[in-house]
Structure 1
């Protein structure tokens, strides 16, 4: 059975634009997924990336144009300059880690709910009430928003180390159990093709 380690950031617009396609692809191929939220700014700094605010204006302008096109192709609404971005990604990441450990809900729906709250819902995903609502909507106990914080912090830090050590440098980033790496939601078709044996 194939396995995918999914490195992502809850404040990443491109993680948002993944939607639930990863889960659909995994189900199609009988693959399992481990969800690994990472500190994207930490990942950038460790692997030669530049935070969006520090990029040349040409790159900033292109990023916004590309985001608008990608969202339209994905059929998703997007606010290119959301009110609560960037925000602290740690609380939502800790909640995802706790939810994965607890089980019983829909992880893809949880991650999409949190990223959509940021990029389409004008909500601050660092706030407990927003995180609780997303947990509930995805079938998880909302109290996971404030449980296992120490373990969440440790796992969040170790996810960053693992991402760097395994060759990731952005989000979303998918790594198969055969060490095939796919960067970006626009490479999901490639991941699908690989799992199908066509790549």
Structure 2
């Protein structure tokens, strides 16, 4: 049985545009998933040659905006290209995600989509406790995980980020099958499917 380490950021628009497609592929092949929220902009990008969007050349930003618009339409996932909380602190939602992963009782794939959707679809600040609580409830978890107890996830968030860099992760979403085969981006899920099928 294959295992997928799924590295993501709760504030990544491309993670949002993944929807639940990766989970569907994993279920089809009986693969297990470890969800690993990481600090993309402050921890992974600067250490792996990446540049945060605000520092990119206008030509790159123009293409990025066009791709987001096209992907939104392609996958039927509405999004605002310039949400008011785009530069939000992703750490609180990541801590809550980690707390939920330990508490159990809900669907972690849905929780990833709830956080990213709250930001990019609903224009909500995913650093706020009430928004975090709503996302937890949407995915079947206890709303109270949005409280101070979620700070226990801080150390794991740092570990995930260090692990991501060590594993060769440089963007989000990023999937690693059995600690060796790497797939970067929501547009590589078809390749992930083919690999798990033994066709690649």
Confirm or deny a common fold (TM above 0.5): yes
SS of structure 1 residue aligned to 2:64: helix
| Structure 1 residue 103: Cα displacement | 1.1
8 Å contact 2:98–2:150 — kept in the other structure? Answer: no
**Cα deviation 1:49-102 (Å, max 9, x = unaligned):** 000000001011111011111111111101000011110000100011011111
Asked if structure 1 preserves the Cα contact closer than 8 Å seen for 2:85 and 2:124, the reply is yes
Equivalent residues of 1:39, 1:160 under 8 A apart: yes
Contact 1:105–1:138, Cα closer than 8 Å, also in 2 = yes
Distance in 1 (alpha carbons) for counterparts of 2:152 and 2:162: 15
The alignment yields a C-alpha RMSD, in angstroms, of: 0.9
1:23 aligns with 2:23: yes
- Mapping 1:32-111, distance limit 5 Å: 32-41=32-41, 42-111=43-112
Distance 2:17 2:175 in 1: 14
Q: CA deviation at 1:150?
A: 4.0
For residue 135 of structure 1, what is the aligned residue in structure 2?
136
- Structure 1 distance, partners of 2:73, 2:88, is 24
Report what 1:7 is aligned to.
Answer: 7
Deviation at 1:149, TM superposition (A): 3.4
Give me the whole-angstrom Cα distance separating, in 2, the residues matched to 1:132 and 1:4: 27
Q: 1-side partners of 2:72 and 2:2: how far apart?
A: 28
The whole-number CA distance in structure 2 between the counterparts of 1:158 and 1:187 is 25
d(CA) in 2 for partners of 1:158, 1:188: 25
CA 26–74 in structure 1, closer or farther in 2 if over 3 Å, else same: same
Q: Where do 4+ consecutive residues of structure 1 move more than 3 Å?
A: 147-150
TM-score, normalised with respect to structure 2 = 0.97
Unaligned 5+ residue runs, structure 2? none
Runs of 5+ unmatched residues, structure 1: none
Contact preservation (8 Å) 1:98, 1:147:
no
Partners of 2:23 and 2:124 lie apart in 1 by 24
TM-score if structure 1 supplies the norm length? 0.98
Count of residue correspondences: 199
